[in-house]
A and B are shown apart, each in its own frame.
Chain A
């Protein structure tokens, strides 16, 4: 089914005000949603409406305005939890996915990982799911090992089993790779890891906007994601954590709101999820994320997935026309999220993206916060085009046309 055949998505681009602007004199062709998604009017209005009409400090004031703000904030949490198959107590608001991983590495990690223990990650993790574990392992004297990625960009599950035989304390895995596009079998990985006694953290930053996610079905003990990639505001992310684990964990940040009572020498902590939400929350941002979830659910993840898979298939089909171009990750669109990273022989990704930008085509160039994976792929950097609900086949065609221009400029 094509874009135009789906009426829910046909007019969707008109809902993004930023798409009306010109980039270098051309209509904006935004192919960097994996870095951050553009915002639909519904989200912009929700944030602005909150600030204009409902703003107050939440959870404490008893005047109507404060009650309203609290209801909007907690309502967003409820809708997010129910959408993703989690629960309110197990849905903690954080600043972003990075903070969510840090929260787990700090509060759970420092209680449960000790000298000589093993932490297992994969070679396709984003820096946000590597560096917090490096700090933990260095601090407590634990070891870090990585599940290798094969030449198609797929995790070697036999190698995972070999690592699981060493009884690691944690397995951390990205749900959808932000470079390879690979959709990892997280439920299978969770099952194997649990059988070996490990706790599982899944990074769903790319997955939540791109594929159907049911946190409970992934089996993850911790599932983290970020709001701004789901068309929501920056500054708001989510940690879903299994209740028993969250309850046993000490707080991460301490201060107001995360307490039940404070005495001169010690304090008792608030119930979940507030124990992990010290200080004034990003209230407008959470309300905006709630609006993004409502808006996204109305489109329907099945329609979004079908649309973006079709764009990726079109991109994979057309990119092979460009001489000297290498695509990374699985060859079939059905096995990928909504992005394609590639290398063009003889041209550095910075130069590719610079020349594409002259035609209004915005792509990401660099290591995509995956330097270890770049090392595995044998490249310093790649160019990445990522797709969103508002993109069309024409956007893909503009990308391919632009790549031919890049080759002309570089006299290839």
Chain B
């Protein structure tokens, strides 16, 4: 069994959950990983209690970034939008359940970045510091 590309990661990569686009979402955020050109958009419909009612990811990226988005999408359904802002990198790392090298951390954290940014709305002030590596190394 491959540690990084374990079955669950590949399943989410090949058949990502909550993938596609929403008509007229309440919240939306798009971002890219400028180092590799990967793109990810999240669209969220909010219910009348301010919870994530429905969400869709779209874009393209590697197995790690796609699986991270797919897994996170299952977890945040029903979550109060305000709680999206409290998500941290450990949330993603726990979902992935694998060791992520410094060079792949940006891939893993792209979904976290767009989720939190969508939660913040248009005035996103999410900082890159969240995914920055101690040695500043990026792929």
**Taking beta carbons and an 8 Å cutoff, which residues of A are in contact with B?**
346-351, 354-355, 365-367, 371, 374, 380-381, 409-411
Q: Is B76 an interface residue, CB under 8 A from the partner?
A: no
Query: Which one of B43-51, B59-67, B78-86 contacts A?
Result: B59-67
Q: Are A365 and B36 neighbours in the complex by a CB distance under 8 Å?
A: yes
In chain B, positions 1-51 with a C-beta closer than 8 Å to chain A are 2, 4-5, 10, 14, 35-39
Verify if B139 is at the interface (C-beta below 8 Å from A). Answer: yes
A267 to B4, CA, bound (A): 61
Please name the residue on chain A nearest to B101 by beta carbon.
A354
Q: Does B96 contact A (CB under 8 A)?
A: no
B62 touches A348 (CB 8 A): yes
Contact A350–B62 (Cβ < 8 Å):
yes
How far apart sit A140 and B35, CA to CA, in the bound complex (Å)?
29
Q: Is the CB of B36 within 8 A of A350?
A: yes
Residues of chain B within 8 A of A354, CB atoms compared: 4, 104
**A374-B37 in contact (CB<8A):** yes
18 contacting pairs across A/B (C-beta < 8 A): A348-B66, A349-B36, A349-B62, A350-B62, A350-B63, A351-B5, A351-B64, A354-B4, A355-B5, A366-B37, A374-B37, A380-B36, A380-B37, A380-B39, A380-B60, A380-B61, A381-B36, A381-B37
Note all chain B residues with C-beta closer than 8 A to A409: 2, 5
- Across the A-B interface, how many residue pairs have beta carbons closer than 8 Å? 51
Q: How far is the CB of B55 from chain A (nearest CB, A)?
A: 22
How many angstroms between the C-alpha atoms of A260 and B37 in the bound complex?
Answer: 46
Q: Which listed residue (A366, A410, A411) contacts B36, Cβ 8 A? A: A366
Task: Give the distance in Å from the alpha carbon of A350 to the alpha carbon of B36 in the complex.
Answer: 8
Chain A residues whose CB sits within 8 angstroms of the CB of B115 once the complex forms: none
Smallest CB-CB separation from A350: which chain B residue?
Answer: B62
Binding site for A on B (CB under 8 A): 2, 4-5, 10, 14, 35-39, 60-64, 66, 104, 107, 139
A365 to B107 alpha-carbon distance, docked (Å): 13
A366-B35, A381-B36 known; A350+B64 contact, CB < 8 A: yes
CB distance from A76 to the nearest CB of B (A): 32
Partner of A367, one of B2, B4, B36, B66: B36
Residue of B nearest to A368 (CB): B37
A348-B63, A409-B2, A410-B5 are contacts. A366–B10 as well, Cβ < 8 Å?
no
Chain B residues within 8 Å of A374, by CB: 37
- CB neighbours (8 Å) of B104 from chain A are 350, 354
A355 to chain B, nearest CB (A): 8
A296 to chain B, nearest CB (A): 30
Q: How far is the CA of A374 from the CA of B61 in the complex (A)?
A: 14
Closest 10 CB pairs of A and B: A348-B62, A350-B62, A367-B37, A366-B36, A380-B37, A351-B63, A351-B62, A409-B5, A380-B60, A381-B37
What residues of B have a CB within 8 angstroms of the CB of A365 in the complex?
Answer: 36, 139
Q: Which among B2, B10, B62, B107 has the greatest number of chain A C-beta atoms within 10 A?
A: B62
Bound Cα distance A360, B85 (Å) = 40
List, in ascending order, chain A residues with CB within 8 A of B35's CB: 366
* Residues in A neighbouring B38, C-beta threshold 8 A: 348, 350, 380-381
Report the minimal beta-carbon distance from A339 to chain B, rounded to whole angstroms: 18
Residues of A within 8 Å of B37, CB to CB, are 366-367, 371, 374, 380-381
Alpha-carbon gap, A16 to B64, bound state (A):
34
> Contacts of A349 on B, CB cut-off 8 Å?
36, 62
In the assembled complex, how far is the CB of residue A348 from the closest CB belonging to chain B, in whole angstroms?
4
A381–B5 CA distance with the chains assembled, in angstroms: 20
In whole Å, how far is A365's beta carbon from the nearest beta carbon of chain B?
7
Closest-by-CB residue of B relative to A374 is B37
B10 to chain A, nearest CB (A): 7
A366's partner among B14, B66, B139 (CB-CB below 8 A) is: B139
| Other A-B pairs, 20, CB within 8 Å; known A348-B61, A351-B5, A410-B5 | A347-B63, A348-B60, A348-B63, A349-B36, A350-B63, A350-B64, A350-B107, A351-B63, A351-B64, A354-B4, A366-B36, A366-B37, A374-B37, A380-B39, A380-B61, A381-B36, A381-B37, A409-B2, A410-B10, A410-B63
> Within the assembled complex, what's the spacing in Å between the Cα atoms of A411 and B62?
15
Contacts of B36 in A (CB 8 A): 349-350, 365-367, 380-381
B14 / chain A contacts, CB cutoff of 8 Å: 346
A354 to B102 alpha-carbon distance, docked (Å) = 12
- How distant is B131 from chain A, measured CB to nearest CB, in Å? 15
